[in-house]
Amino acid sequence: MDQATAIALIRRTLDHLADGTTDMLPDGHVRPVAFYTDEMQFARERALFRRLPVAIGYSAEVANPGDFITHDLSGVPLLAVRGRDGVLRGFVNACRHRGTRIEWEACGSGKRAFVCPYHAWTYRDDGALAHIPHAEGFPDVDRTTHGLVPVRIAEHCGLVWAVADPTWSGDLSAILAPLAAEVDALGLATHVPYAARRYEIAANWKLVNDSSLDSYHVRHAHRRTIASMFLDTMCVFDRFGRHQRLFLAKRTIESLRNTDPATWRIRDHGSPLYFFFPGTVVLLEPDHAQIAQMWPVSPDRTIVTGATLIPEPPTSGKARAHWDKNVQIFWGTLVEDFALMESKQSTLRAGANDHLTFGRFEHSARWFHEAVDSALADAA
Ligand code: FES
Ligand SMILES: [Fe+2]
Asked whether residue 246 is assigned to any structural domain, the reply reads: yes
Q: Is residue 40 included in any domain, yes or no?
A: no
Residue whose CA is at the smallest distance from ligand 1 atom 1: 98
Looking at residue 28, what is its pLDDT? 96
Q: Which of 79, 96, 100 to mutate to test the pocket of ligand 1 (most atoms within 8 A of CB)?
A: 100
Q: Domain range spanning residue 283? A: 3-32+192-379
Same domain, residue pair 283 and 317: yes
Do 109 and 75 share a domain, yes or no?
yes
Write the CB contacts of 298 (distance below 8 Å, at least 6 apart in sequence): 42
Nearest ligand, CA 219: 2
Same structural domain, 234 and 278: yes
Residues 69-108 have pLDDT tens digits of 999 999 999 999 999 999 999 999 999 999 999 999 999 9
Ligand 2 centroid to Cα of residue 66, in Å, is 39
Testing ligand 1's pocket by substitution, the residue of 93, 115, 119, 149 carrying the most ligand atoms inside 8 A of its CB is 119
Atom of ligand 1 nearest to the CA of 100: 1
pLDDT value at residue 178: 83
> Which atom of ligand 1 is found nearest the CA of 95?
2
Spans of the chain below 50 pLDDT: none
Contact status, residue 55 vs residue 161, Cβ threshold 8 Å: yes
On whether residue 46 sits in a domain, the answer given is no
How many angstroms does the Cα of residue 228 sit away from the middle of ligand 1?
Answer: 57
- Contact, 264 vs 247, CB < 8 A? no
- Tell me if residue 60 falls in helix, strand or coil: helix
Same domain, 231 and 374: yes
Q: What is the pLDDT of residue 212?
A: 85
Looking at residue 252, its pLDDT comes to 97
8 Å CB contact between 158 and 60: yes
Q: How many domains does the chain have?
A: 2
* Nearest residue (CA) to ligand 1, atom 4: 119
> What number does the ligand 1 atom closest to the CA of 132 have?
3
Task: Indicate which CATH number applies to the domain containing 133.
Answer: 2.102.10.10
* Cα(227) to centroid(ligand 2), Å: 10
* Strand ranges (E), 41-108: 54-58, 68-71, 78-82, 88-92, 107-108
C-alpha dist (Å) from residue 42 to 45, 205, 206, 298? 5, 9, 10, 7
Q: Is residue 251 part of a domain?
A: yes
Backbone phi, then psi, for 336, in 5-degree steps?
Answer: -60, -40
What are the pLDDT digits (tens) for 303-333?
999 999 999 999 999 999 999 999 999 999 9
